[in-house]
Structure 1
Amino acid sequence: MARIGIIGSQGRMGRAIAEAIASAGHDLAGGIGRDGDAHALAAASDVLIDFSRPAALEANLEAAVAARVPMVIGTTGLEERHHWLIDEATATIPVLQTGNTSLGVTLLAHLVREAASRLGEDWDIEIVETHHRMKVDAPSGTAMLLGEAAAKGRDVTLADVSDRGRDGITGAREVGHIGFAALRGGSVAGDHTVHFLADNERLSLSHLAENRGIFAKGAVKAALWVLAKDAGRYTMPEVLGL
């Protein structure tokens, strides 16, 4: 039985993770919100799950490293600096970082990479995501995860081929680019579709999230998986053996 600590426990995802921990038969070591003591939580936990804010990531990683506690990071909106910090921490502890903890999305990303690697550049790739009105970042972490999967399938760097926020006279679509569109409204937990579009045919791969429970369940599964790993950086596909 593992003691799992939640960073960001007061949010909707934090509450869903607490329920998932109980359903899985494990112990909630505790939880902290915006002003909580990450060091105390890390000391009381076997593994941490972080769904808080990018601004808090550095302090959260420091607490996990000091206590030598594994960590699952599901916080979205991370920038390049945050990934450097994660890489530094993985010299001491195992860290699993992902833009989405859903097992279905993890498999979707695998399928997207496979499709992108087999379809030529005459197949345009467009990613459309929809989330609830309260979401603060766009494109979503999941959309970026799917974009990275498509880019890897084509052996390119996403930053070099990413198109976002088209408006006005944009000109013809760039060959080989990956487009993103973000929709916001209502209470949508998260819908993502990757469109592959060629002349006279289209292929669409989708995942629809009906509630946050699927992300919470996946986060707990990831936490239990990373708990048994050596120091290093891990991803959700590895949890599924992909």
Structure 2
Amino acid sequence: MKIAIVGAAGRMGQMLIRQIARTEGCSLAGASEAPGSRAIGRDAGEIAGMEANGVKISADSTAAIVAANVVIDFTMPAATAAHARIAADKGVSMVIGTTGLDPGQTAAVHECARRIPILWAANMSLGINVLMALVEKTASLLDPGYDIEVLEMHHRHKIDAPSGTALALGRSAAAGREVKLEDVWRKSREGHTGARPPGEIGFATLRGGEEVGVHTVMFAAAGERLELSHRAFSRETYASGALRGALWLKDRKPGLYGMKDVLGL
């Protein structure tokens, strides 16, 4: 499987390059960065803290993508939408780990998935995706007297809040209750908010330090509280999941897939 990494010099890009090097059946075919990056022209392996691998980081994302069977994108919303269009035009499969896309960017990804197979997940961790399945099942079993709160913490550099994973967990809870998340969510609280409305799904966001990712879904009722939690200690878990997804995409028909499909959940 020939893989291209866009955003190759970023934290996830470097981790993906290292993961490709130790994953049987995968090879790095192309790597790109945004124009103006200091990484352009440098060897991708050296940027990732390994020996040189002969793949130079380019400012030309199209050239990187066409060299591969699949492109992996953990970049920025606007860049992800643009890369999806390139991949669709060139017939290259795509794995997307970017979150925070706006409605227009989301629609662009959906449109591209009509032409190529795209795996898009808010979180590539296998554990998180099992957690999502557990949250949905738990929400379906507990009555509305259990208030649902989603707590998440990430490093100080994260730009979107609540995290894409937190929202995905909220959607899992809403699916278990057979409601639409947008009809019941409360993304933040401040001031005199009044009593908590029945059926609300709340979110709490923490940012600080170098925390990779902590997510907890609470089901709180009179007399007890059930918590389902996941903590990531390394971005390696995301890279490993992304590569598993990339290999899974081989020979898939065009469409939009998620980690539930990969794991058979």
* TM-score interval for Structure 1 and Structure 2 normalised by the shorter chain: over 0.9
TM-score normalised to the size of structure 2? Answer: 0.89
Letter paired with 1:236: M
Residue of structure 1 equivalent to 2:9: 10
1:120-199 superposed matches below 5 A = 120-199=143-222
Indicate if the aligned counterparts of 1:71 and 1:223 stay in contact, CA closer than 8 A: yes
Instruction: Supply the AA of the counterpart residue of 1:28.
Output: L
Give a deviation string over 1:151-208, Cα, whole Å, max 9, x none.
1111111111110220110000011111000101111000000001111011100000
| Cα distance in 2 between the residues matched to 1:131 and 1:152 | 25
Q: How does 1:12-91 map to 2 (within 5 A)?
A: 12-25=11-24, 26-35=26-35, 36-91=59-114
- Structure-2 separation of matches of 1:198 and 1:177: 13
Residue 120 of structure 1 deviates from its aligned partner by 1.2
Amino acid at match of 1:11: G
1:3 touches 1:28 (CA, 8 Å); kept in 2? Answer: yes
CA contact (8 A) 2:30 2:65 kept: no
Match of 1:209 in 2: 232
Percent of counterpart pairs with the same letter?
47
1:167 partner letter:
E
Higher Cα radius of gyration: 2
Cα deviation digits, residues 5-40 of structure 1 (max 9, x gap):
111111101101111111112101121112332221
Q: Secondary structure at the match of 1:29?
A: strand
CA contact (8 A) 1:117 1:154 kept: yes
In the alignment, is the contact (CA less than 8 A) between 2:97 and 2:121 conserved in 1?
A: yes
**8 Å Cα contact 2:188-2:204 kept in structure 1:** yes
Gaps of 5+ in 1: none
Structure 1 length-normalised TM: 0.97
1:212 shift after superposition = 0.5
Amino acid at match of 2:148: I
- For structure 1, which segment, 212-221 or 226-235, has the greater mean C-alpha deviation from structure 2 after superposition? 226-235
**Retained in 2: the 8 A contact 1:131–1:184?**
yes
Aligned length: 241
Q: Secondary structure at the match of 2:171?
A: helix
Which residue type is aligned with residue 153 of structure 1? G
Displacement after TM superposition at 1:228 (Å): 2.6
Runs of 4+ aligned residues of structure 1 deviating over 3 Å after TM superposition are none
Give the counterpart of 1:105 among 103, 117, 128.
128
Contact persistence 1:126–1:195 (CA under 8 A)? yes
Which is bigger in relative contact order (C-alpha 8 A, separation at least 6)? 1
Classify the secondary structure of the residue corresponding to 2:251.
coil
Residue 259 (structure 2) pairs with residue 236 (structure 1):
yes
What SS class does the counterpart of residue 180 from structure 1 fall into? strand
CA distance in 1: counterparts of 2:2 and 2:244, whole angstroms: 13
Q: What is the root-mean-square deviation in Å for CA atoms of aligned residues?
A: 0.9
